[in-house]
Structure 1
Amino acid sequence: MSFYDKFTFKNGVELKNKLAMSPMTTYSGNKDGTISDQELTYYSERSKEVGMIITGTTFMQENGQGFENQFYAGNDDYIPSLERLSKAIKQHGAKAILQIFHAGRMSKPGLKENQDIVSASNIPAERENAPIPRELKDEEIQEIIKSFYEVTIRAIKAGFDGVEIHGANTYLIQQFFSPHSNRRIDKWGGNTFKRLKFPLKVVDSVIQAKNDMKKDDFIIGYRFSPEERENPGITLEDTKILVDKLCEKELDYLHISLGKYNQTSIREENNKITGKEILKVINGRVPLIGVGSIFSEEDLEKAEEIGYDLIAIGRGLLIEPKVITTLKNEKEIQKIIDKNNTTLPDNLLEKITKHQKSYGITIK
């Protein structure tokens, strides 16, 4: 199984294997935005076997928060908190990647008093009781881009091995690229290439921070969702343009966001595996991380056949921190969590317990 083998990025950084922990929100930070002790234990336990941990996403601007009890990285006062997290992950030899984002219109209402929910345009998400966001002004957009630069500096100072730019899952970066959420007719929208401007400026900002810190071995990744269900919405053809542009940047990896590693289109009736279509566009220029419903060695073998360079495991690691040992010995991870024998933070366990069907996990 080649995913158990070491992997070296183009910047020379070596992973002990090609398996990563997928970024998943814990809902378990402290009220002041710092990392909680329960989160440190959670990440430390899951860093013992995989080669790389991508953290649940952090936010840098007050109006960028997406979830309750999300940890914060908006100023230098939070560097010590971030450093605790990077050390907890790295102590077992895994590389620590901090995922960074702005929630945009997907910010949960009620998180803050007088909450300011913003987006590319004043178009609400297609979900029940979705708030109408305020359209961002040009100077605000520039400030958000700057915040990605600043948080990258903090990540480096806090000892992280890299950052992952969260351009997926309907959050602000994707909102600027999407024809559903971006109805602007200025330099930030109006056609596919103008909608690309914000995501690419964010990438440039993060790369600039790495270069200014003279940190050549710092890993930069970018996560994207290949399609949207909305009409108008992001199509696979749109994403191929995005991916091609991203491959021209100094990125160390791309990370496709999928519910299942061998998923086909959610917009069209065909049997083309989305990951394969993206790999054709990449054409070996940048490593691609695949993800989605990896619970067995058979799943890993099938993912390997698709051609992914690395694989991220999400729910499998919620269930079983020693995921490689389990896959090698038992061949399959059972989708059951013993609530009395788990290192999941309390809030995350409560969330999974309430939504067992959507997580696809049974709590006993």
Structure 2
Amino acid sequence: MANYQFLAPFQFNNGVTLKNKVVMAPMTTMSSFYNGKITQDELHYFAARAGGPGMVITSVANVSDNGKGFEGELSAASDDMLPGLRQLAATIKKDGAKAILQIFNAGRKSTSQVLRGETPVSASAIAAEFPPGLETPRALEQEEIDQVIADFGTATRRAIQAGFDGVELHGANTYLLQQFYSPHSNQRTDKWGGDLEKRMRFPLAVIKEVTETIEKYATDSFLLGYRISPEEVETPGIRLEDTLYLAEKIKSQVDYIHLSMGSYKRTSLNDASDKTPILEKFAKRIANEVPLIGIGSVELPADAEEMLDSGADLVAIGRELLREPQWVQKAKIGDEASIRTTMSLADMEELSISGAMQTYLQESFGSVMNFTPNGKKAEDYQSQAAPMEGFEKKL
């Protein structure tokens, strides 16, 4: 067996133990039913990949109907979803992986078409700059903010009842949790807006609600993670130091922090003179206090090893697990030569990728998937944002 450090077990501070340090990153499948219920296509997709990683994070599930961001999105917004969520958790856990349900509210990154005529909501009535053309959202009222916070708690209760091992709050990729923290999308004058500390109140309130739900319904072995985007490119917008500060504030309140970047080698998008990789900055700031999940452009075992050497505690793999569902198994037996780093349209059935997801990958993420025979090698996202991060910026 190969002697890679990412193959060693990992234990969280609360005692939860993973069989290895590889995490399947949350990836949009576009394959749920119109009402957010799980499909057999999705179950096959997860079943094909769940055998290797120590932990699998699902594609994102909305916590409330007005938080839906796109068609084909998973939902945890009602008890009607419980039967499907139970199937999903069991599918992921069948070979010993821990199952994490990622939950969110899309906020202004949705559309009135997706919301069946309702106007998207956000912290303030300010349209997102990326992608261009999104409509102006409606600012949430105080009672609505309270309801969204409660919805995160209720969705967590459903995750517990469905048999998941944890939830991950999607505070990245410019969705609602990030929108409240951002000076671009949050220009409120009440207690939920203003300076950095006030803009932090909403994500902290959600963490508190979810923590109380876990204490009420789960055991102490249930995980709470938080996914975070290091920077925004808008002006005003979140800068790297703002996010490092947020990580420091929440590190004692969550079980792990999960970065969202196109490359684990990424440096600052706003300060080209700063050559220190963002991963290393986060590792230094929260070292030995809360586990850090690194992410971005891991294709071969050497990449995973380098990420761990750079300060990550766990290695999240996304696109590469689409191309190679047996990545961990092949690394374990030293069969690197057979690891696929490209994706052929002829292999989609074998890879358990649904028709809806195939279209999505080709149309929205063709530039990052290493498609053959006519596709281009994915760009180096060390100095730019990747399409899946919700914004655009090149140095």
The TM tier, using the shorter chain, reads: over 0.9
Could you say what secondary structure the match of 1:46 adopts? coil
Structure 1 residue ranges, 4+ long, deviating more than 4 angstroms after superposition: none
Give how far 1:177 is off: 0.3
1:20 corresponding residue in structure 2: 23
1:50 aligned residue (40, 48, 53) = 53
1:34 aligned residue (18, 33, 37) = 37
Matched to 1:3, the amino acid is: F
Matched to 1:346, the amino acid is: G
2:360 corresponding residue in structure 1: 351
2:121 corresponding residue in structure 1: 118
CA deviation vs aligned residue, 1:38-63 (integer Å, no higher than 9, x gap) = 10010111101110100000012111
Give how far 1:354 is off: 2.5
Task: Report if the CA contact (8 A) 1:20-1:313 is conserved.
Answer: yes
CA deviation vs aligned residue, 1:164-220 (integer Å, no higher than 9, x gap) = 000000000000000110011211111000010001111111110010114211011
2:256 corresponding residue in structure 1: 253
Mapped to 2, the partners of 1:255 and 1:341 lie a distance apart of: 30
**1:143 partnered with 2:152:** no
Mapped to 2, the partners of 1:151 and 1:216 lie a distance apart of: 18
1:289 aligned residue (290, 293, 311) = 293
Matched to 2:351, the amino acid is: T
1:336 corresponding residue in structure 2: 343
Matched to 2:350, the amino acid is: N
Give how far 1:339 is off: 3.1
Give the direction of change, closer, same or farther, for the CA distance of 1:32–1:363 in structure 2 (3 Å limit). farther
Task: Report if the CA contact (8 A) 2:256-2:292 is conserved.
Answer: yes
Mapped to 1, the partners of 2:218 and 2:84 lie a distance apart of: 23
Give the direction of change, closer, same or farther, for the CA distance of 1:131–1:206 in structure 2 (3 Å limit). same
1:307 corresponding residue in structure 2: 311
2:165 corresponding residue in structure 1: 161
Give how far 1:31 is off: 2.3
CA deviation vs aligned residue, 1:250-287 (integer Å, no higher than 9, x gap) = x1111011110111001111211101111121131100
Mapped to 1, the partners of 2:76 and 2:116 lie a distance apart of: 20
Could you say what secondary structure the match of 1:321 adopts? coil
Aligned residues: 363
**1:240 partnered with 2:244:** yes
**1:133 partnered with 2:140:** no
Mapped to 1, the partners of 2:114 and 2:177 lie a distance apart of: 20
Could you say what secondary structure the match of 1:278 adopts? helix
Mean CA deviation greater in 348-357 or 60-69: 348-357
Mapped to 2, the partners of 1:214 and 1:102 lie a distance apart of: 23
Mapped to 2, the partners of 1:310 and 1:176 lie a distance apart of: 28
Give how far 1:340 is off: 4.7
1:271 aligned residue (275, 279, 284) = 275
**1:319 partnered with 2:323:** yes
**1:185 partnered with 2:192:** no
TM-score if structure 2 supplies the norm length? 0.89
Mapped to 2, the partners of 1:356 and 1:103 lie a distance apart of: 19
Give the direction of change, closer, same or farther, for the CA distance of 1:305–1:123 in structure 2 (3 Å limit). same
Task: Report if the CA contact (8 A) 2:23-2:315 is conserved.
Answer: yes
Matched to 2:144, the amino acid is: E
Task: Report if the CA contact (8 A) 1:353-1:363 is conserved.
Answer: no
Mapped to 2, the partners of 1:167 and 1:314 lie a distance apart of: 18
CA deviation vs aligned residue, 1:60-109 (integer Å, no higher than 9, x gap) = 21110011111211111211111010011011111100000000000144
